[in-house]
Amino acid sequence: MKKRKRSARLVDMTRQLLAQPQQVIPLSTFADRYQAAKSSISEDLAIIEEVFREEGYGFLQTVAGAAGGVRYIPHISLEEAEKSIHEICERLAQPERILPGGYLYMSDILGEPNILHQLGLMFASRFTREVDCVLTVATKGISLAFATASFLNVPVVIARRDSRVTEGSVVSINYISGSSKRIQTMSLARRNLPEGSKVLIIDDFMKAGGTVQGMKDLLHEFNAEVVGVGVFAESRVEERLVHDYVSLATLTEVDLHKRRIKVQPGNYFSSERHAALRD
């Protein structure tokens, strides 16, 4: 890249940082790229850091030492997340969404890139422990898992709800789906997930949690560590198999006869609020 003035550097650096979340970029990379002194680059970064912080786009983290540099950590503030989730909850509460079995039609919402980015950013802001990959099970959670993984800059691994996996040696487990109460199968090829990985589970919907429990059982077979469970929408049920999870929306009532749905923000917001107050 040719020698750049500050104005052009700021545009390019902003783009570089946003396109490479979680990755440490050495200051020398920027200095070489723009033929600028490291001190100028540091001043540029201070300007970007201030805007990102004030506008709630996330953080620039300076990493010291030989492998040092600057890292962009995407983040959404609780306030912004609440604004988003309220709009989404309103859409979820449209009565024409009611499906048999207490389910909601959500494919349209979970097909919109803007919404998926917002939801993925919420999970990425919440699960800040070290994550090696995001696991989901086909089909409806895949886009959300990918959106989350993009902000965390880790790969997505997709389990299947059958054993017709053709990718070599496969691990299958049985699980009880909360909805059908039937024994179902979930599979993942050995080569999909390195042993001992730190895994974030993401799914679109949770009732009793049978599917999530299935994913946890599957991960156990890979000696993997579950660092978190995030679901877009949960439905209130009497008895839950999974207790440690983060939900973005909670369906408190789905009444097929009265055609009434009540949706409120999920436990993400109550627990985030508590964490914020604690700090």
**Site residues (vs a second copy, CB under 8 A):** 1, 6-8, 10-12, 14-15, 18-19, 47-48, 50-52, 55, 57, 99-101, 103, 105, 107-108, 111-114, 116-117, 133, 138-140, 142-143, 146-147, 149-150, 153-158, 160, 166-168, 189, 191-192
Beta partners for residue 73, in sequence order? 59
Residue number with CB closer to a second copy (51 or 237)? 51
DSSP character for 95?
G
Beta-ladder partners of 202: 230
Burial of 195 (0-12, 13-18, 19+ CB in 10 A): exposed
State in Å, rounded, how far the first CA of the chain is from the last one: 43
Smallest gap from Cβ 2 to a second copy, in A, equals 8
Of residues 82, 80, 62, the one with CA closest to residue 72: 62
Q: How far is the CB of 231 from a second copy (least distance, A)?
A: 18
Eight-state DSSP code of residue 108: T
Nearer to a second copy among residue 143 and residue 247 (C-beta): 143
Residue 184 structure tokens: 């179902």
Q: Which distant-in-sequence residues (6+ apart) come within 8 Å of 112 by Cβ? A: none
Question: Shortest CA distance to 4 belongs to which of 49, 30, 36, 29?
Answer: 36
CB nearer to a second copy: give 156 or 229. Answer: 156
Q: Which of 45, 43, 47, 40 is nearest to 24 (CA)?
A: 45
CB of 135 to a second copy, least distance (A): 10
Beta-carbon contacts of residue 116 (< 8 Å; ≥ 6 apart): 110, 143, 144, 146, 147
Nearer to a second copy, 39 or 271 (CB): 39
Report the nearest approach of a second copy to the CB of residue 214 (Å). 16
Q: Which residues pair with 186 in a beta bridge?
A: 173
In the bound state with a second copy, the residue whose beta carbon lies nearer, of 57 and 269, is 57
Q: Min. distance of Cβ 179 from a second copy in angstroms?
A: 10
Give the tokens for residue 11.
């545009």
Q: Kindly state the smallest distance separating residue 19's Cβ from a second copy, in Å.
A: 8
Nearer to a second copy, 66 or 169 (CB): 169
Q: Nearest distance from residue 277's CB to a second copy, in Å? A: 27
Of 243 and 257, CB closest to a second copy: 257
